[in-house]
Structure 1
C-alpha cells in the first residue's frame, strides 16, 4: 500500500498586508487603519478609491517608502519577508529584486539627459558589479524586455524626449521587470496617457502578468479600469478597505453602500444623457478623530451603530472570498442605494 502523498507547501503570496496601521506625526487618527490585503503569484488585485483614501500609501508600504516620521504597525510581507522590519541593506535588495513600481508619470521617472538604455540597465549594473560578460548579459536582458513590451532595441539609444508618453510608460514597465520581481506595483500608471494608449498599457500589463507570473497591485480611482484588469478588487475609503472580492462578483453585487454609490455615479453608455448620481457630503477630515464607520455621514443606510462602532469585514453568505465592512450589508440592494443616493 502506497503512503499518502506528502502535502506540498503553497508559495508565499507576492504581497500580504496584515493589519497595517500608519500614523503620521500629530495626526489624530491613522491614515491607514487596519488594512488587510493579499496579492497571490500571478494575480492582479485592483485597489480602488477616491483621492486621499490611502491607495498610494498602501502600495508604497510594500517598498518601505513611508512618510517621514510615520509610525507603522502590522506587517507588510513581500514573498514572506516583512518590509517594515527589514534593515536598509535588505530593503535596497528588495527594491531591485522582489518588488518594483510603475508610477503615474513616466517622464518623471527618467533623467532627460540620459539615454533610455542607461535607465534600463543602471540598477542591474549596480546590483551585479558588472564586468564585461555581465554587461553583455544586462544589455541582452534589456533588449529582451523591450521586445516583451512591444519596442525594439533602437529605443536603447534614444533620449526620453524623443519618444511618446505611451512608449515611455512601456520603457518604465520594462525597467520594473529587469529584476524579475515577484510583485509589481502600478500606481495609476495610465493617468497621464490618452484613452487609446491606456487600453494598450492595460492589455500589456495583463499579458506580462501571465507571462512572468508576477503579482500585480494596480492602484486606480477608475472603476472601469479596475474591472478590466483586476482578478479581485479592493475598495478603499478613508484609510480602510471597506469591500473586497472577485471583480465580477463585486461589480454585479456590491455589498457596501460606498461601492454601490461609486457604481451609480459612473457614466454609462446604456443611459446617454441621464443624470449622474452624486455621493452627498465629503470624506471625513483627516485632522479629526473618527469613530464608527468612516462612510456613515454619507450613507443612506446609516443607523446609530454606524457612528459608534467600526464594522468588521465579514464574508457574504455562501462566499468566503467576498468581504464587506458594513453593519447593514445584508440590507443592501444596489438599486435601492442608487435611488437613495440620487434622492439625497
Structure 2
C-alpha cells in the first residue's frame, strides 16, 4: 500500500520554550486509510497536522522529515508549498464559518485556488466545483449562495468539497465535527469515509473524541505533550490500551456500560512548554510511575506479541484490559 504521509523523528520548537512543542513524532498514513490523532487540548495534534502543509508558527525551528507523497515538506520552496496545498494535500478546518469569507459566494470560495494557483479556466473550475458539491450531497445552486445562507452542516460539506477540489492524495481533518450537532457529526463522518474510498485519499483525522476516533479510524496515534504515547489498530488499542495515558483517557470517557457515579478524571495537568522534561512526560500524572519514569524518557517500541502496536512506557506489562493495573 502506498504511504501518503510519512513523518519521521519530527521535532518542532518555538522561541522561549524550555522543550520542543513536538518531540520525535513518527506517524504514517497510507492511501485509503483513516488514521486518528487523539489527545488532550494542547498536546500538539493541530500543530502536527498543520506542519504537513508547512503552516508553521512564526520563529519555529524544525528537525526530522515530513514527507507527503514522497516529498519533504520541510525543504520545499514557497512556490512548491503553494502547489502542495492546491493539489497534493488539503485541510478541513474545525469551524467552517471562520474559514470561509462571509462576503463572498460559495462558488468564488471553491474555485479561487484552482483559478489562481493551478491556472485552471473559470469554466473548468466551476465544473469541478459542481462535481465536488454533488459528491458531498449538495446541488450546484449552492455556488450562488453566501455562507450565511447555509447551515453549519452544509458549510462543513462545502469545506470538504473545497478540500477535494485539487484531487489530493491526503486530507487533514482538524476536528471537523466539533461545531456540529450529533446527527450532523454522524453524517459528516460517514461522508468522509465514503469519499476516502471513492477518491483513494489518505485521511488524518485530528480529534479529542475517543468514541469518534474508534468509529472512523483504521489506526490511532495517542499524543501527549508533543510525543506519541501509543499507536496501533483502532479496535485493539481501544479494547486493550497499552499506555497509562490511553487507559486514563478511556476511563474518563462516558460509556453506556460504565459504572454509575462520577466519571474518572486524570489527576494533575499536562506539562507547560516552559517546563523542561527529563523523563516520561506523563510521569507526574501516572499511577504506575516509578523513579525510572522520572529519569528516563521511554522509547516508542513494539508491544510484545503485538507487532502492529507500539507504546512509549516502561511498564506496559502492568497495564491490564481497559487500562487497569495488573496485579
What TM-score does the superposition give when structure 1 sets the normalisation length? 0.92
What CA distance in whole angstroms lies between the structure 1 residues aligned with 2:13 and 2:160?
31
1:155-199 deviations in Å (ceiling 9; x for gaps): 011110001010000001001100000010000000111111111
Contact persistence 2:301–2:312 (CA under 8 A): yes
Name the residue aligned to 2:243.
256
What CA distance in whole angstroms lies between the structure 2 residues aligned with 1:92 and 1:244?
31
Specify whether residues 128 and 56 from structure 1 end up closer, same or farther in structure 2 by C-alpha distance, changes over 3 A only.
closer
Name the residue aligned to 1:78.
68
Secondary structure at the aligned position of 1:20 is classed as strand
Contact persistence 2:102–2:148 (CA under 8 A): yes
Instruction: Tell me, yes or no, if structure 1 residue 153 matches structure 2 residue 143.
Output: no
- 1:72-221 aligned at under 5 Å gives the runs 72-130=62-120, 134-221=121-208
Q: How many residues align?
A: 327
Report deviation, 1:210: 0.7
1:7-63 deviations in Å (ceiling 9; x for gaps): xxx63x111100011111121100100000000011110000000000000000000
1:301-324 deviations in Å (ceiling 9; x for gaps): 111110011001111122221000
Specify whether residues 322 and 334 from structure 1 end up closer, same or farther in structure 2 by C-alpha distance, changes over 3 A only.
same
Name the residue aligned to 1:241.
228
What CA distance in whole angstroms lies between the structure 2 residues aligned with 1:212 and 1:193?
24
Contact persistence 1:300–1:337 (CA under 8 A): no
What CA distance in whole angstroms lies between the structure 2 residues aligned with 1:205 and 1:41?
14
1:270 pairs, out of 227, 252, 257, with 257
Instruction: Tell me, yes or no, if structure 1 residue 69 matches structure 2 residue 59.
Output: yes
Q: Where does the alignment leave 5 or more consecutive residues of structure 2 unmatched? A: none
- 1:8-27 aligned at under 5 Å gives the runs 11=2, 13-27=3-17
Instruction: Tell me, yes or no, if structure 1 residue 324 matches structure 2 residue 307.
Output: no
What CA distance in whole angstroms lies between the structure 1 residues aligned with 2:30 and 2:261?
39
> Which structure: larger Rg?
1
What CA distance in whole angstroms lies between the structure 2 residues aligned with 1:145 and 1:283?
41
What TM-score does the superposition give when structure 2 sets the normalisation length? 0.97
1:337 pairs, out of 320, 324, 327, with 324
What CA distance in whole angstroms lies between the structure 1 residues aligned with 2:171 and 2:127?
22
Q: Where does the alignment leave 5 or more consecutive residues of structure 1 unmatched? A: 1-9
Report deviation, 1:326: 0.3
Contact persistence 2:239–2:322 (CA under 8 A): no
Contact persistence 1:21–1:31 (CA under 8 A): yes
Secondary structure at the aligned position of 2:117 is classed as helix
